[in-house]
Amino acid sequence: MRFYLIRHGESEDNLNMITSRVDTKLSANGKAQVKTLRDEYADISDKKVIVSNLLRAQETADLLGVKSYEVDERVREIDLGEFQGHSFEELERIYPEETKKRFEEPFIFKFPGGESFTDLRERTKEFYEEKVELGEDIVVISHEGFIRTMLSIAVDKVEAYYNFKIENARICEIEVIDGFPIILSLIHISEPTRQAEISYAVFCLKKKKEKFVIENFAKSEV
């Protein structure tokens, strides 16, 4: 069986560089991105489609011309709770202690009023194993966090979450043969214009690396 994982088009929150809210919509650029993906999607339009319950994913499905789909909350983005709707700089100012813990323990930190990456991985793994058992090819229109987690499950390494960059309106493919997952593709080019963006997860990793460099530089000066 094969998973076709599609990240939604650029959202208004992606464009404004703030952590995504539940009800954020696609930006004008995001809609254009999705439209350029239509021909590619046409090749797999006969597959069963599962869509996140979040608006930006459902808008993506509609623009792709998906005729019918099943909504599954397990494929939604990680719930950032009180961190939603803030710029990265605002988070560091408003939640300094929580942000510090997020850097130090990225996989067990639980967003205030939201989920941890462990929560995300557990529901993603449940979804993955259920669909592999059924053995039917499926298209999943989802989010960066969910897709990264699916890929980290495929390589059986939690930390691999940070090794994948999933851009908007792209298709990733995972084929599972006799229970063994194979990542077939990570990038499908389909963009009219794509603005530079950075996810909260990547931001955290960059900050963690900066801290590592600063600390080791300081040690070398002792």
Q: Of the listed 8, 74, 76, 170, which one is catalytic?
A: 8
Which residues does residue 138 pair with via DSSP β-bridges, in sequence order?
3, 48
Q: Of the listed 10, 12, 59, 77, which one is catalytic?
A: 77
108-145: burial string, b at 16+ Cβ within 10 Å, e else:
ebbbeeebbbeebbebbeebbeebeeeeeebbbbbbbb
Q: Of the listed 76, 143, 148, 170, which one is catalytic?
A: 143
Active site residue 8: yes
Active site residue 56: yes
For residue 174, give the amino acid letter.
Answer: I
| Adjacency order of strands within the sheet including 70-71 | 70-71, 48-51, 138-142, 2-7, 171-177, 180-185
On whether the CB atoms of residues 85 and 21 are closer than 8 A, the answer is yes
The shares of helix, strand and coil residues in the chain, as percent rounded to the nearest 5, are 50, 15, 35
Residue with tokens 């006969």: 46
CA-angle at 146, arms to 194 and 201, nearest 5°? 65
Q: Of the listed 56, 121, 123, 170, which one is catalytic?
A: 56
Q: Following DSSP, what letter does each residue of 83-121 receive, concatenated?
A: GTT-BHHHHHHH-HHHHHHHHHSTTT-B-TTS-BHHHHH
Q: Of the listed 12, 14, 170, 191, which one is catalytic?
A: 14
Active site residue 14: yes
Comparing C-alpha atoms, which of 29, 43, 31, 9 is closest to residue 185?
43
Q: Of the listed 7, 74, 86, 123, which one is catalytic?
A: 7
| Catalytic residue IDs | 7-8, 14, 56, 77, 143
